[in-house]
Amino acid sequence: MLALFFMERRGVMAFLPITKQEMKTLGWERPDFVCVTGDAYVDHPSFGTAIICRILEAHGYKVAILPQPDWKNEASITEFGIPRLGFLVNAGNMDSMVNHYSVSKKRRKTDAYTPGGVAGKRPDYATIVYCNLIKRTYKDVPVIIGGIEASLRRLAHYDYWSDKLKHSILMDSGADLLIYGMGEHAIVEVADALASGLSVSDITFVRGTVYKTREIDGVYEGIQLPEYNELVKDKIAYAKSFAIQYENTDPFSGKPLIEKYGEKRYIVQNPPATPLSTQEMDDVYELPYMRNYHPSYEKEGGVPAISEIKFSLTSNRGCFGGCSFCALTFHQGRIVQCRSHESLVREAEQMTRDPEFKGYIHDVGGPTANFRAPSCEKQLKYGVCTKKQCLFPNPCKNLKADHSDYIALLRKLRAIPGVKKVFIRSGIRFDYVLADGSDDFLKELCEYHISGQLRVAPEHVSDPVLQMMGKPDNSVYKRFVEKFYQVNKKIGKEQYLVPYLMSSHPGSGLREAVTLAEHIRDLGYMPEQVQDFYPTPSTISTCMYYTGVDPRTLRPVYVPKNPHEKAMQRALIQYRMPENYDLVKEALIKAGRRDLIGFDKKCLIPPRKIKQSPGVSSKEKHNPGNKMKKRSHENKANVRCKHRKRR
């Protein structure tokens, strides 16, 4: 295995160099690659920079990391001099604009990926800024970009923060090549091509890459998208273009995509890289990561992002869930790839030897925890269906809903000496749980892998909104809720569901927001957190937000964009908060629902302001579990409230 080979070769595990002095200590005159990143250097496989750099190192390349250089000082990019083969650039584990701004476009005060959580250590549009800095300093050195920011901006895309349709990031950054997706296959092919003496401009053949060209005669089976100038003028043209992109995200059926810019300038996206095999996944995650932040950050308090992932296990990648607001289809793809039980057990055993390990594995999952295999057998030969989803609007007849492998894995992890509890926090698809004919997984989940509360993501309760979200009908969630409480009753536990809810998604007007508020009323608690829909690059929902149509059907979609309406929709979800009273009242009147203003049990607010919402103590407001528990004891004889508990 690569990991074992690498450990034998190096003898002693160490961090990769982040300063010239550290590089000299290794005896290097110069590195083969310098990786410029918007994050602090955390040598853990949850960080893309660590994975890519360790893979290159395992293949014999010298890699130095330049984390969070001062973009206002051109000399900052010269720390290691001119690399032999090129610069690798990424904005970090998050899009830099999402990292910097809330959905209301207010500047965030902290950055979990920076030492001490300090904000402002990376620029807006970090990939572009870093590349421009490199090109001004080293004009002829190859620059290859990657990571989530580059991956989701690889073709023309709507940018929420500037409210504009932007070029492919390759055009604005001046970079020579873009690697999209997870990149393990592509980065090695690109590195080997450069090392063989090939010019970066001639690397046009690698899957999972995007390149610039003036000639497209050699692009085999390429699909020409509408040119950029047309996209800017016509939003429907952009919706059609996006639909074509979405249908070509599969490595087996995807075709090259061509986007024209002006006269004789083209961006060409090659088909995605093929999925990693289980052995390749094991190799990637068992490289000799230090599994911590660079020790130089200790004096600043460390890097906050390590706290949640240090004792978590990544068991899979890819997702066939198909949520409209999620960019995973564009980045990781729909084919699920998994690590072996043996690899995950080895990593867990390694955790138990860490002095900071307290016996709790925080998560075993990925984009969706309970996906442990491709959704059907034909995918690895023919690819995923381009016109159909695996779970939406209903589970496909070819879907293999089977949790037996995941159950076996969790049992092995629980049995490791030193492990007290294994949590599942990365989220489960409740419709996939229901599609499994057995209740075994739900029983194990409730008995061993949650502690009082299970967070799930129905997102909404209005079926028209759920359809826009690519989520199952609300009746499916209701069935899951009933089954969840039935299972807990059988095993003698009193545990509760805490749903994630989203406001202002395309398709959601005030009427739909009121319906959601009524559901929360019947559920018996007030959510502490509400997520406003955030139009991040390259999602179906963002395309709806920008164009006003569903790119899958080209049918018009209502899009709440007015900040005041969005504030009302958000307030309705937290209607018990006194500070939301005026917004809730206004929303109810505008939605024609004055019947919900009054003192009846079905009402959301009283007809006048009062200091505290009836029946909601400060303690209950911040602890939904206590609120639900109290109601269940007080109303056991009441049929309606009994039904409410099941929900």
pLDDT at position 525 is: 73
Tally of domains within the chain: 3
Q: What is the pLDDT of residues 507-532, one digit of tens each?
A: 999 999 999 999 999 887 778 778 99
Burial class (CB in 10 A: 0-12, 13-18, 19+), 403: buried
Asked whether residue 443 falls in the same domain as residue 489, the answer is no
Per residue in 180-190, is it b (16+ CB within 10 Å) or e — as a string?
bbbbbbbbbbb
Which of 449, 479, 504 is at the close of a domain?
449
Instruction: Give the sheet arrangement for strand 531-532, strand by strand.
Output: 453-459, 496-503, 531-532
Which of 400, 429, 449 is at the close of a domain?
449
Cβ-contact 502, 325 below 8 angstroms: yes
Residue 367 belongs to a domain with what CATH number? 3.30.750.210
- Consecutive H or E run containing 414: helix 404-414
Asked whether residue 468 falls in the same domain as residue 347, the answer is no
Cβ-contact 406, 441 below 8 angstroms: yes
- Give the helix ranges, DSSP H, for 224-294: 228-233, 235-246, 278-285
pLDDT at position 609 is: 62
β-pair type (143-145, 86-90): parallel
Asked whether residue 551 falls in the same domain as residue 437, the answer is no
Per residue in 250-282, is it b (16+ CB within 10 Å) or e — as a string?
bbbebbbbbbbbeeeebbbbbbbbebbeeebbb
pLDDT at position 396 is: 94
* Helices 540-547, 235-246: crossing angle, 10 deg rounding: 170
Asked whether residue 429 falls in the same domain as residue 514, the answer is no
Instruction: Give a yes or no: residue 45 inside a domain.
Output: yes
β-pair type (209-213, 177-179): antiparallel
Which of 385, 417, 449 is at the close of a domain?
449
Question: Angle at the Cα of 189 (from 185 to 193), degrees rounded to 5?
Answer: 170
Q: What is the mean pLDDT of each run of 10 residues along the chain (647 residues)?
A: 38 83 95 98 97 98 98 95 98 97 96 97 98 95 98 98 98 98 97 98 97 94 97 98 96 96 94 97 97 96 95 96 93 96 98 96 95 91 90 93 97 98 94 95 96 92 96 95 96 92 96 95 80 96 98 97 96 94 97 96 85 46 44 38 36
Asked whether residue 440 falls in the same domain as residue 463, the answer is no
Asked whether residue 66 falls in the same domain as residue 188, the answer is yes
Asked whether residue 514 falls in the same domain as residue 444, the answer is no
Asked whether residue 489 falls in the same domain as residue 414, the answer is no
Asked whether residue 445 falls in the same domain as residue 461, the answer is no
Task: Please state whether the peptide bond connecting residue 123 to the residue before it is cis, i.e. omega within 30 degrees of 0.
Answer: no
pLDDT at position 570 is: 95
Cβ-contact 126, 73 below 8 angstroms: no
The amino acid at 207: R
Per residue in 504-536, is it b (16+ CB within 10 Å) or e — as a string?
bbbbbbbebbbbbbbbbbebbbbbeebbbbbbb
Question: Angle at the Cα of 551 (from 127 to 366), degrees rounded to 5?
Answer: 55
Asked whether residue 405 falls in the same domain as residue 475, the answer is no
Instruction: Give a yes or no: residue 251 inside a domain.
Output: no
Asked whether residue 156 falls in the same domain as residue 51, the answer is yes
d(CA 577, CA 582): 10
Residue 172 belongs to a domain with what CATH number? 3.40.50.280
% of the chain exceeding 90 in pLDDT: 86
Residue 280's φ and ψ, nearest 5 degrees, are: -65, -40
With CA atoms as reference, report the closest residue to 344 among 414, 400, 449: 414
d(CA 482, CA 354): 40
Range of the domain at 368: 311-449
The H helix count followed by the E strand count for the chain is 27, 22
Asked whether residue 205 falls in the same domain as residue 347, the answer is no
pLDDT at position 13 is: 61
Residue 525 belongs to a domain with what CATH number? 3.30.750.200
With CA atoms as reference, report the closest residue to 20 among 82, 68, 71: 82
Instruction: Give a yes or no: residue 378 inside a domain.
Output: yes
Instruction: Give a yes or no: residue 97 inside a domain.
Output: yes
Cβ-contact 116, 68 below 8 angstroms: no
With CA atoms as reference, report the closest residue to 516 among 477, 550, 555, 556: 477
The amino acid at 23: M
Judged by DSSP in three states, 503 sits in strand
Could you list the beta-strand ranges (E) of 410-449: 421-422
Instruction: Give a yes or no: residue 259 inside a domain.
Output: no
Q: What residues contact 500, with CB distance under 8 A and at least 6 apart?
A: 455, 456, 457, 458, 459, 531
